[in-house]
């Protein structure tokens, strides 16, 4: 470190690595929760029949500014073992998203202890949790690597930000 250089912990590369590591850690926590919910549904889930009561289309913008359709949010209503009626929205996702239409009868798997944790259609929570976990771990490793490189003085000039 020269006299005109800030300490390593104030360098852009170290701070970028720290931010990446923190964001990745938070995402890992979310991934582990999704994996846990998916396995809880598989192990402890109860089955019932429900109905699609609403389909909320989602639209995003593509890179060239045109509007494109995304996977819709589906609102499912079902009755749990204790006779209570539940209505929850779920993002239709997974390796095989189903289109869903109002009035459609669906098979629902839910946790009797917490009916808000449910899946209608193919179970995908555990799968998406694993993918999220792998990507987050790569981000965490990259962030820590960038911080170590900054500490050793090997990351100088890797990231340049100009506010002119």
62-87 residue pLDDT tens: 667 666 666 678 889 999 989 999 99
In-domain check, residue 164: no
In-domain check, residue 157: no
In-domain check, residue 163: no
Give me the number of domains the chain comprises: 1
Query: Between 43 and 106, where is the model more confident?
Result: 106
In-domain check, residue 160: no
Place of tokens 């965490």: 140
In-domain check, residue 108: yes
In-domain check, residue 2: no
In-domain check, residue 18: yes
Distance CA 67, CA 93 (A): 20
In-domain check, residue 3: no
Residue pair 74/100 in contact by the 8 Å Cβ criterion:
yes
Residues spanned by the domain of 32: 9-151
| pLDDT tens digit sequence for 108-153 | 888 888 888 887 764 344 456 778 889 999 999 999 999 999 899 8
């Amino acid at each position: 470190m020269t006299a005109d250089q800030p300490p390593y912990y104030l360098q852009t590369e170290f701070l970028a690595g720290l931010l990446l590591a923190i964001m990745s850690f938070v995402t890992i926590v979310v991934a582990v929760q999704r994996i846990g919910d998916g396995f809880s549904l598989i192990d402890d889930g109860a089955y019932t029949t429900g109905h699609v009561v609403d389909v909320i289309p989602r639209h995003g913008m593509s890179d060239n500014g045109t509007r494109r359709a995304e996977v819709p949010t589906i609102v499912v209503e079902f009755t749990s073992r204790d006779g209570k009626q539940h209505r929850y929205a779920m993002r239709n996702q997974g390796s095989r998203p189903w289109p869903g239409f109002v009035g459609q009868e669906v098979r629902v798997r839910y946790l009797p202890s917490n009916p808000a944790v449910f899946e209608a259609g193919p179970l995908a929570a555990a799968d998406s949790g694993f993918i999220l976990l792998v990507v987050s771990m790569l981000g965490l490793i990259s962030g820590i690597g960038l911080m170590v490189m900054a500490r050793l003085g090997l990351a100088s000039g890797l990231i340049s930000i100009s506010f002119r």
